[in-house]
Amino acid sequence: MVYLDNAAATPVSARTAERFAELAFEFHANPESAHAAGKRSLELINQSAEQLKEALSEKENDLEVFFTSSATEAVNSAFSFPEVGSGVIAASPALHPAVEAAAGRSLSRGIRVLKLESSGGIDLDDLAGKIDASVSTVIVEHVQNETGRIQNVAAIGEIVRRRAPNALFIVDTVQSAGKLPIPWSEGRINMAFVGGHKIGAPCGGALVHRLSRSNNQTMSAKFAEHLRGIRYSSHLLGRPDPAVCAILAETLATTVDQGIGEIGKLRSELRFELAELALKSRLDLKFVIPEKRASPFITSFFLPPYQGEILVRMLSDTGVMVSSGSACEAAGGKASGVLRTMGISDKQARTMLRVSFGGTSTQNDVKLLVSALRKAIDSY
């Protein structure tokens, strides 16, 4: 099987699965227990938090980690904090559905939807015009999960600091954590997220936060108290599992060490092979995002008049796995709302394919994909 849908979920290596089983067997005790076994479990969780923080940013020593069962739970935990919705929320229109839904459920005084440029980037002039003292939170994605567009988090963060210095700046880093450098200092990020399914871990998530740099120095303490409350008082979240926390941190550290050089080469090879296919088969190929503005892990392109969902099924029948957009919305049958905000028609949006690389992707995968795509188009 050729698996190129890593933006949806990544495969777990045999070694990672074995390591997870080892940790689950050894550290099975409840970390809240007073006995020695419980204390060992709690110590492993604390060590995992330190490892995860170092992997995300060696320079930032004031980050805090709140482990969750998934990235979605981490997002919901962040938006359950009353201060997040104490004013207006300014939000990217290209957020993952889980983040968009969490923002909508918050008790905010309204949501100001930001504007996207045709290239998929946040319109900075529009952002500046919509940010003022009434804004309590700004939420954008670092890497868009359908298109792969990398947002200029540093520039966005600078505008947030100037226009609404007390606002919280939340960045969805699920598609970038462990893959691309996260601009913590440059963007003055307050909250970010990690999802195990995106980096080769079998499960687990984390909310990484740093609120102490906001003007309200008591906010970090309030947030920590809130998180403890929803877990231990309200019982809205389950307790962190020591093995899940450890394997998430270890896997993240491993993916960071791998770097993005080889993935970048695969992306260049894919774009070249697709361009060659388009030339030989006279296809109207168009990449959604310019190469320099996209994550090397995600390449999305249009192939009109061929329907993306049909091509996905045809490729799947030959053992090649890609997607036509966000897996979380694939069942809905609707054209991408993200592409619509970029000025792309629904007709064209339905011709999109998304190829997403991971640590197991190879050059041979690219060649097999393009070969299978050629045959699918010939028999479409």
* Domain end position, chosen among 198, 233, 256: 256
Claim to verify: residue 286 and residue 178 sit in the same structural domain: no
Which strands make up the sheet holding 286-287, listed edge to edge?
286-287, 298-302, 352-356
* Pair (356, 212) in one structural domain: no
- Number of domain units in the chain: 2
What's CA 83's distance to the chain center, in Å?
Answer: 23
Asked if residue 227 and residue 107 are part of one domain, the reply reads yes
Mean pLDDT throughout 314-335? Answer: 76
Which pLDDT value is given to residue 71?
A: 96
Same domain for 135 and 218:
yes
**Residue 28, both tokens:** 């099975």
The model's pLDDT over 152-186, given as tens digits with 9 standing for 90+, comes to 999 999 999 999 999 999 999 999 999 999 999 99
- Residue 332 reports pLDDT greater than 70: no
pLDDT of residue 326: 56
Query: Would you give the end-to-end CA distance of the chain in angstroms?
Result: 21
Is 290 found in the same domain as 229?
no
**Percent helix, percent strand, percent coil in the chain, to nearest 5:** 45, 15, 40
| Exposed / middle / buried, residue 261 (Cβ in 10 Å: 0-12, 13-18, 19+) | exposed
Residue 196 and residue 105 share a domain: yes
Q: Which of 2-11, 106-115, 223-232 has the lowest mean pLDDT?
A: 106-115
User: pLDDT band at residue 257, thresholds of 50, 70 and 90?
Assistant: low
Q: Tell me what pLDDT residue 269 has.
A: 97
CA distances to 78, 102, 109, 265, 296 from 145, in Å: 20, 17, 27, 20, 12
- Residue 352 sits in the same domain as residue 229: no
Q: Do 168 and 190 meet the contact criterion of CB atoms below 8 Å apart?
A: yes
Final residue belonging to a domain, choices 238, 256, 274: 256
Specify whether 167 is located in the same domain as 221.
yes
- Same-domain status, 292 and 185: no
Q: Of the given ranges (53-62, 169-178, 215-224), which has the lowest mean pLDDT?
A: 215-224
pLDDT of residue 274: 97
Contact criterion met (CB below 8 Å) for 193 and 174: yes
Residue range 144-157, pLDDT digits in tens: 999 999 999 999 99
CATH code where residue 280 lies: 3.90.1150.10
Across residues 297-303, what is the average pLDDT? Answer: 97
From 6-10, 40-44, 107-111, 201-205, the region with the lowest mean pLDDT:
107-111
Mean pLDDT of 207-227: 79
Q: Which residues contact 200 (CB under 8 A, 6 or more apart)?
A: 10, 11, 12, 13, 16, 251, 254, 255, 358, 359
**Across residues 117-122, what is the average pLDDT?**
94
Asked if residue 265 and residue 212 are part of one domain, the reply reads no
Residue 216 has a pLDDT of 56
What's the mean pLDDT when you consider all of the chain? 92
- Same domain for 247 and 329, yes or no, is no
Q: What is the CATH number of the domain that holds 154?
A: 3.40.640.10
Containing structural domain, residue 201: 14-256
Q: 5 with 321: CB under 8 angstroms?
A: yes
Q: Which pLDDT does position 107 carry in this prediction?
A: 72
34 φ, ψ (degrees, to nearest 5): -85, -15
* pLDDT band for position 333 (cuts 50, 70, 90): low
End position of a domain, from candidates 210, 226, 256 = 256
pLDDT at residue 258, rounded to an integer? 64
Q: CA-based diameter of the chain, in Å?
A: 70
The predicted structure's pLDDT at residue 61 = 73
Percent of the chain whose pLDDT exceeds 90: 83
Q: Are residues 263 and 306 in the same domain?
A: yes
Q: What confidence score (pLDDT) does residue 249 get?
A: 97
d(CA 178, CA 176): 6
